[in-house]
Amino acid sequence: MRTVVWQSLSEEQQDAILERPAIAEGANITAAVADVIAKVRTQGDAALLELTEKFDRVKPESIRVPSKEINAASERLSAEMKQALEQA
């Protein structure tokens, strides 16, 4: 990560920083995402565990969230958030 002092930059430099980088390998990214989706559809939880280790570099023993934790998290949600989740 690079730190810049915004006020010290020219307008051209500011514009250059705000530009999004071009995605040169869009087709490769699309193919990689399609592979991940296909793997999860066919292999389920086993694929999720494998991909978590590959991309996140952690090896969870399980992906199951205990009911107690789900209930506790639900109690902390606002009514608006619960409604949004139900609608989604």
Summarised one tens digit per residue, pLDDT across range 30-67 is 889 999 999 999 999 999 999 999 999 999 988 899 99
Residue 12 within a domain:
no
Q: Residue 24 has what DSSP assignment?
A: T
pTM value surpassing 0.85: no
Q: What is the mean pLDDT of the chain?
A: 91
Q: Which domain holds residue 52?
A: 24-87
Residue 48 within a domain:
yes
Number of domains in the chain: 1
Residue 75 within a domain:
yes
Residue 47 within a domain:
yes
Residue 16 within a domain:
no
| Two structure tokens written together for 46 | 């086993």
CA dihedral 28, 21, 2, 57 (to 10 degrees): -20
Report pLDDT for 35: 96
Residue 68 within a domain:
yes
Residue 5 within a domain:
no
Residues 6+ apart with CB under 8 A from 17: 4, 9
Confidence of residue 24 (pLDDT cuts 50, 70, 90): low
23-32 average pLDDT score = 78
Residue 69 within a domain:
yes
Report pLDDT for 23: 64
